[in-house]
Chain A
């Protein structure tokens, strides 16, 4: 599918390469700065002009950050919330999409339109009513309070449905003739064939849930239930502007798992996003 990129004149190529290089530096530099500051002793951070490489590289900021606020607890909470939300979103999206594509019942289109409508509603404007629901259930400062409002997904359902529509129907018909019921077809044919779409749905869920800030900020107010994005802001508040090395170590600890995930599944994430735009 991929066309050969356009051929440009030599000098045009050099100019483009330069522009891209400058952009890469501008985008990359803050991340580099975060990383090297986390290895600097505090005396070195408060020198002008700043140093571009730590003079006496140290690891001491990491245990300091880890102890300044209950980082281990934040990590645990983030992992639990992200894992359960991702599992839930992926499962519900797959089940709903299967029903929408392979179960020809009346009212199916109405359900799909409902899902599409859900896609249009921005979650941020729902914070007060959803907070009230969770508070009335007595679920502030609980995992279910953190998880439940984000457990369903209109976006994932849409993505999975689009993918199912591209699968050849002959395989399903053959399985039906062989006597396989819907649940069997779902589990032994649809799920394995739709693996790329399931992985994309899961990756999207992991990234957005790991980074989610507003909702955990609202429904938790104790350290035992804080997640990492809120916890690292807590670290920043407690350390003030006095200890950038420790704070940068904290931010590295927050973004590191996603950077690793991105490094490992980069192709998949980028292709998934691009495919979503091309089809949408």
Chain B
């Protein structure tokens, strides 16, 4: 097939380049067009909707400037929504990352049933949130549920988890953390197994005890994982919807109303496009800020091998 080589004249090369371009466009276009239509364009629509008054039906969308922002951000419920989101995200991320780290370290040794344990811990992560939420409503049932029985062994009376504003958020956090801790375990385990064992031996020779080894070897070694989990878990918590919608509908009295639920509520229950646009914009800006902050923090603290 060497006969093709001399044919690569200048004219052919331009022709070939054009063909390569055409092929490139043909290959990337379907993906990019869909991303443009359903990921990038909607961001602009959100920005527009946040500045108009519209109920999804009328032909007019009168421009009202920042009115919607003033109304949404000024409403008393919005403070609750932000607080709920921060509490839900903060505690869920802390539990999944903290407990996940402990379990991963415990699992990172010769245990005969290690693979099986990891599989069980990870299973809830891949199951449908709505089905899991229903199972947990049954478990939380203050009269016939599993949890009231477990609490009874310790002579504790079960709260009325989902009907009590003081307990509903705790219930949602328990379910969410239960579902996602296995994900953190899997990520940490991958990080732990990539750490060079000779570092521990070197530290031990230097007289470092277990805790000092953890601080000097394990934590720096895991820092890329910790950073990755932090970013992805915060974003996932921000977007958690199915469990909250099925278990509490944002209630009782807004006790579990988070930003994403508030967005759904404004857009699809009250059918007010403007306020829904505002909440979407707030979430978008908050997530960009959070990710940027985490990236900046990571520059100083994350050690890539």
Contact = CB atoms under 8 A, between A and B. Distances in A.
A2 B190 CA distance: 10
A17 to B, nearest CB: 6
Nearest to A153: B31
Interface string B114-149: 000111111110111111101111110101111001
Given A133-B38, A270-B118, A5 B108 contact: yes
B226 to A, nearest CB: 11
Interface of A: 1-8, 13, 16-17, 19-21, 23-24, 26-31, 33-34, 37, 45-50, 92-93, 95-96, 98-100, 103-105, 108, 111, 114-115, 117-118, 120-133, 148-154, 157, 177-179, 182-183, 207, 210-211, 213-214, 217-218, 228-230, 232-233, 236, 241, 244, 247-248, 250-251, 254-255, 258-259, 262, 266, 269-270, 273-275, 277-278, 280
B260 interface: yes
Nearest to A213: B242
B43 interface: yes
B101 interface: no
Query: Ordered nearest first, which 7 A-B pairs have the shortest CB separation?
Result: A274-B190, A152-B34, A129-B42, A129-B45, A213-B242, A16-B106, A99-B27
A213 B241 CA distance: 8
A151 B241 contact: no
Contact of A27 (B138, B181, B287): B181
Contacts of B229: 277
A23 B103 contact: yes
B27 A96 contact: yes
25 contacts: A16-B106, A16-B111, A17-B106, A104-B20, A105-B17, A114-B35, A121-B39, A122-B235, A125-B263, A126-B280, A127-B267, A128-B46, A152-B32, A152-B38, A178-B1, A213-B245, A232-B131, A251-B134, A254-B131, A255-B131, A258-B128, A262-B126, A273-B186, A275-B190, A277-B190
B30 to A, nearest CB: 6
